[in-house]
Amino acid sequence: MLLAGPSPARAQDDDAAALKLAEPDFTLIALPTSLRLPPLKGAFRVTHRFTRPLNDDFGDVAGDLFGLDTGATIGLEYRFGVIPNGQIGFHRTSNKTIELFSQYRVLPQNRALVDVSAYFSIEGTNNFKDSYSPTVGAIISRSFGDFVGVYVEPMWVNNTNQLPKALVDHNDTFMVGVGARVRVLPTVYLVAEAAPRPSGYKPGITQGSFAIEKRAGGHTFQLNFSNSFGTTMAQIARGGPLDKDWFLGFNISRKFF
C-alpha cells in the first residue's frame, strides 16, 4: 500500500520548495539526504551530542538527566540554495572544526529508479586552519510514497588520518553511509543510519545512530542516540570510541522557505 498510488510529493517533484513527506529534512541524523533547497533560500540546523555515556548505572545516568547536565559537542549549520538543485553550506562543531559542503542533484527519482546527488565537502580543524579533509561522494536515495526514504551514500574522505601520509598505511577512508527514515505518524518519523567503512583508515567503531523526530511546520526536532559524536564527514569516517558507549543527542533544524 505504501508503494502504490501517486503522492503529492511525486506530483510536485520539480518544486524544490514543496514539502516531501518522506524526506522532510536535509539530514538523517548526521548523514545528508538528497532534499533540495530552492535557490536563494536557506536552512539552519543545530546539533548536540552529549558526551556522557548512557550505558552506565541507570541512577547515575538519570541523575545527570541522561547527559544533559554534562558537556556536549555542538554543531551549527547553515545551508543556502545557490542554483536550481544545488546548495552550499557550512557546519561548525564546538571542537573548532569547520566543514564547507556542497550538493548537487544529478538525477531525479522520476527519471530513474533512484535520486542521485553529487556531494563534495572539505573540513578543517582549528577553525579551518589545520588538517583539511575533503570528501567526494554521492547520495543515492529512493522515496517510497510519503512514508519511507532509504539512502546509500558512498563517500571517499581524504586525510582522515591525522598523521602525515609518510607515517601511515592509510590516509583516507572509503565509507558507505546507509540510512532510512520512516514516517510512522503524520508528523513523526523514526530514523536510523550507519556508516560502515569497507576500506582505508578506520579507527574506532563504525558510527551508528537512531532517532525519533517530529516535524512541526518548517522545524524538525530530533532526539537521537549515537555511538559517536561525529557530525562532519571526517568525524564520521573516524568512527566512534572503542568503549561502545551510546550517547544522547538532538538536532533541531529550520527551513527558511
| CB 92 to other proteins: min, Å | 18
Nearest CA to 249 out of 217, 216, 203, 208 is that of: 208
What is the C-alpha to C-alpha distance for residues 158 and 154, in angstroms, rounded to an integer? 13
Smaller CB separation from other proteins, 133 or 222 = 133
Grid cell 543545530 is found at 46
User: Of 111 and 165, which has the nearer Cβ to other proteins?
Assistant: 165
> Please, what is the minimum distance in Å from the beta carbon of residue 229 to other proteins?
22
Tell me the closest approach of the beta carbon of residue 187 to other proteins, in angstroms.
36
Shortest separation between residue 30's beta carbon and other proteins, angstroms: 21
Place of cell 554534562: 70
Hey, what's the cell of 93? 562543531
CA dihedral 235, 241, 244, 250 (to 10 degrees): -40
Strands (DSSP E) along 8-71, which ranges? Answer: 42-53
**CB closer to other proteins out of 51 and 131:** 131
Q: What CA dihedral angle connects 44, 48, 49 and 51, to 10 degrees?
A: 150
Residue (138 or 252) nearer to other proteins, CB:
138
User: Which residues contact other proteins by CB under 8 A?
Assistant: 83, 102, 120, 122, 131-134, 136, 158-159, 162-167, 171
Residue 43 CA: distances (Å) to CA of 39, 81, 116? 12, 9, 21
Contacts of 22 (CB under 8 A, 6+ apart): 9, 143, 144, 145, 146, 147, 148, 149, 181, 183
Least Å from the CB of residue 166 to other proteins:
5
Q: Return d(Cα 255, Cα 90) in angstroms, integer.
A: 15
Minimal distance, residue 100 CB to other proteins, in Å: 10
Residue closer to other proteins, measured from CB, 55 or 127: 127
Of residues 131 and 187, the one with the C-beta less far from other proteins: 131
Q: Please tell me whether residue 234 adopts helix, strand or coil conformation.
A: helix
**Minimum separation from the CB atom of position 174 to other proteins (A):** 14
Rank residues 93 and 133 by Cβ distance to other proteins and give the closer one: 133
Count of CA atoms in the C-beta half-sphere (13 A) of 137: 29
